[in-house]
Homo-oligomer: A and B are copies of this chain.
Amino acid sequence: MAKPKADYVVGVDLGGTKILAAVVDTQGNIVGRSKRKTLPSAAINPDPPLVADRIAVTVQEAVAAAKLSMARVKAVGASAPGPVNVDTGWVYKAANLPGWHNGYDLGPELSKRLQVPVVVDNDVNLGTLGEAVYGAGQGYADLIGIFVGTGIGGGLILGGTLRRGFRWAAGEIGHMTVAKGGPLCGCGERGHVEAIASRGAISRRLGEAIAAGEPTALMVKEGGVIASGEIRKALDASDPLTQRVLLESEETLGIFIASLVNLLDPQCVVLGGGLVESLGQPYVTAVAEHAYAHFFLKDDMDKVKIVQAGLGDNATVLGASVLARNLKANI
């Protein structure tokens, strides 16, 4: 009997709370998927090998869901929420995974478990790659991906190649200073764009105003967290507090995007992440207007596209599938 053709790849999105795996065919279609929590709720020893075991099972389940065998899988691409040596598959650290602060050899460990080649890259890099190949950034060789959620992450594709950086540390755009001496960032520094324009920062500012007695239509959950969907509802109800805080975040993100354009002059900026998905096109349009107003070179300004991401939660698994397909990340 002829050996079955290994013409599928699997993309994995490893996050702090969940693991997603998707089987992808040669056309970029997802033909099977699986999902599980990154760690069981009562994990006694939540160390990296346990997570690797769970990723491997999630991959196998996705392959089974596609009614395929592992023999049909050419390679696996996996993301990690931190800097990754893409040549070796080593994850330097992952702030929101317990026990990963000293790094982990994720690529080789997954490959040992699954018996297929495994390539690993940073999750936001792969989200940007996914959008570039299958999403809102299709057709652009120069692309900045900006993902706004609890924090702000970014990926750069320049001249058709993901910019990983000399220490595999490129794309930490959330930690660029836009307002020196400004609000405190989660990293301990002040005035980073993440400290003003992320969903986390907006939520914190709203919470502070509410604590100070400002009236609002916002519903605040236990623990003080204000979700993206709640922010959208308050905007729909024309809540003045939410409008004011959001306006400042849109303006800051716009000025920040203009700075990136003044530096890199790309063809396209793709805005994705939880906040962007909740607030949709009106938010993207507002941010883009602020950005264009601050471009240094105004010539051909509208040729620089600022668009909403198109793939939602699938961006990273699809980007990971591109990496697995090519075993590198040129588009």
- A interface residue numbers (CB < 8 A to B): 83, 92, 142, 154, 156, 158-159, 161, 163-173, 175-182, 187, 189, 191, 252, 255-256, 258-260, 262-267, 294, 296-297, 299-300, 303-304
Contact = CB atoms under 8 A, between A and B. Distances in A.
A259 to B, nearest CB: 4
Nearest to A267: B166
Contacts of A173: 262-263
Contact of A177 (B83, B265, B294, B304): B294
A41 to B, nearest CB: 31
A177 B259 contact: yes
Contacts of A182: 180
Nearest to A159: B161
B163 A158 contact: yes
Q: How many copies does the complex hold?
A: 2
A294 B191 CA distance: 12
Contact of A265 (B167, B179, B252): B167
B259 A176 contact: yes
A167 B166 CA distance: 26
A255 B192 CA distance: 10
A299 B92 contact: yes
Given A158-B163, A265-B165, A267-B166, A258 B294 contact: no
Given A161-B159, A178-B180, A180-B178, A166 B255 contact: no
Nearest to A181: B179
A121 to B, nearest CB: 14
A92 B301 CA distance: 14
A309 B258 CA distance: 28
Nearest to A175: B296
Listed residue (A181, A267, A297, A300) with the most chain B CB atoms within 10 angstroms of its CB: A297
A198 to B, nearest CB: 15
10 contacts: A156-B264, A165-B264, A167-B265, A167-B300, A167-B304, A169-B262, A173-B262, A175-B262, A177-B178, A178-B178
For the complex of A and B, 3 pairs with smallest distance between CB atoms = A165-B265, A176-B259, A170-B265
A4 B142 CA distance: 43
B265 A166 contact: yes
A163 B156 CA distance: 13
A166 B266 contact: yes
Contacts of A299: 92, 167, 169
